[in-house]
């Protein structure tokens, strides 16, 4: 073992602050649905429930706000984010731009190990759909696939941008109808086309495929917003991800 490897093995583990732990617990609660969209989050109550001071809770809420998982209204009230139509459009328009750069670079920089990971996720999607997939499983597998693409791009700032909106995309994906035939086709065949284009190092084909994939992904989610937009009781319940009333 060389000195560099030894230093890496023996380096002390990264210390996690209390705010890190609180943010992780609350993030898990939001993504699992235990903390529902629109639910009020009060610093005092949260700190008492977790038996900690308000400082780490305040910092955790600030981080979750930056991730788009909570929103702070004009009066300072904090709620679990409810994704509005405008939020959906903004997140997907940004994602489409990021995905184009990510797949171009993946075609150039992806390793055989990256490609094996991508294929493994697609195979897992097919197997999970065959035995009956849930919205949560669909979202997790989808994001796992795109995580690999962003890592394969070997572009750290691009990966940072993806990480910033990843949680919002997860929340959005939970609204998809995973029982539809369109979802099954987009999930397995659509992702397989992406893998094949990257393996072939065909940037032109990859850009066409990812554009089609993003359009289908948007349409699948957008259909679920018809009922949300038609609900007259939405206006006073919460703000959107950007802090504007729905």
Domain of residue 69, CATH code: 1.10.10.10
Q: In terms of domains, do 63 and 142 share one? A: no
Does 235 have pLDDT greater than 60?
no
Q: In terms of domains, do 133 and 208 share one? A: yes
Question: 177 or 57: which carries more pLDDT confidence?
Answer: 57
H helices then E strands: how many in the chain?
Answer: 12, 2
Q: How many domains does the chain have?
A: 2
Q: In terms of domains, do 45 and 123 share one? A: no
- Which residues lie across from 239 on neighbouring strands? 245
Question: 222 or 206: which carries more pLDDT confidence?
Answer: 206
Query: Is 74 part of a structural domain of the chain?
Result: yes
| Structural tokens at position 74 | 């004009």
Report the b/e string of 45-64 with b at 16+ CB within 10 A.
ebbeebebeeebbebbbebb
Computed over every residue of the chain, the mean pLDDT equals: 85
Task: Give residue-wise pLDDT tens across range 70-109.
Answer: 989 889 899 998 878 888 999 999 999 999 999 999 999 9
Q: In terms of domains, do 147 and 191 share one? A: yes
Q: In terms of domains, do 109 and 216 share one? A: yes
pLDDT of residue 9: 47
Give me the CATH number covering residue 207. Answer: 1.20.120.530
Task: Give residue-wise pLDDT tens across range 18-40.
Answer: 999 999 999 888 877 788 888 99
pLDDT of residue 186: 80
Task: Give residue-wise pLDDT tens across range 105-163.
Answer: 999 999 999 999 999 999 999 999 999 998 889 999 999 999 999 999 999 999 999 99
Q: In terms of domains, do 160 and 66 share one? A: no
pLDDT of residue 192: 97
Question: What is the three-class DSSP state of 172?
Answer: helix
SS3 breakdown of the chain: % helix, strand, coil, rounded to 5?
A: 70, 5, 25
Residue range of the domain that includes 108: 85-227
Rounded to an integer, the average pLDDT of 176-198 is 88
The tally of CA atoms less than 13 A away on the side-chain side of residue 90 is: 11
pLDDT of residue 226: 57
Query: Is 123 part of a structural domain of the chain?
Result: yes
Residue linked to tokens 């780490």: 56
Q: In terms of domains, do 38 and 157 share one? A: no
Query: Is 237 part of a structural domain of the chain?
Result: no
Question: 234 or 164: which carries more pLDDT confidence?
Answer: 164
Query: Is 238 part of a structural domain of the chain?
Result: no
Does 240 have pLDDT greater than 60?
no
Considering Cα of 17, then 26, then 242, then 54, what sign does the dihedral take? Answer: negative
Q: In terms of domains, do 120 and 187 share one? A: yes
Q: In terms of domains, do 117 and 203 share one? A: yes
| Structural tokens at position 201 | 């190092």
Query: Is 192 part of a structural domain of the chain?
Result: yes
Residue linked to tokens 């005092």: 44
């Amino acid at each position: 073992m060389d000195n560099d490897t030894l230093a890496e093995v023996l380096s002390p583990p990264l210390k996690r602050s209390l705010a890190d732990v609180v943010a992780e617990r609350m993030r898990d609660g939001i993504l699992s649905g235990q903390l529902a969209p629109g639910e009020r989050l009060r610093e005092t109550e949260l700190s008492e429930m977790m038996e900690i001071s308000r400082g780490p809770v305040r910092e955790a809420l600030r981080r979750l706000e930056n991730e788009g998982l909570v929103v702070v209204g004009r009066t300072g009230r904090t709620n679990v984010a409810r994704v509005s139509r405008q939020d959906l459009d903004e997140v997907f328009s940004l994602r489409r731009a990021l995905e184009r750069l990510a797949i171009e670079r993946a075609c150039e920089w992806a390793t055989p190990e990256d490609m094996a990971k991508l294929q493994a996720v697609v195979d897992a999607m097919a197997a999970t759909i065959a035995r009956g997939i849930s919205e949560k499983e669909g979202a997790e597998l989808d994001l796992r696939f795109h995580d690999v693409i962003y890592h394969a791009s070997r572009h750290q700032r691009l990966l940072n941008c993806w990480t910033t909106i990843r949680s919002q995309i997860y929340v959005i994906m939970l609204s998809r109808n995973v029982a539809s035939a369109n979802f099954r086709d987009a999930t397995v065949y659509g992702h397989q086309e992406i893998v094949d284009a990257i393996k072939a190092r065909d940037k032109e084909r990859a850009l066409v495929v990812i554009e089609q994939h993003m359009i289908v992904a948007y349409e699948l989610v957008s259909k679920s917003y018809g009922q949300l937009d038609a609900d007259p009781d939405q206006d006073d319940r919460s703000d959107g991800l950007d802090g504007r009333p729905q």
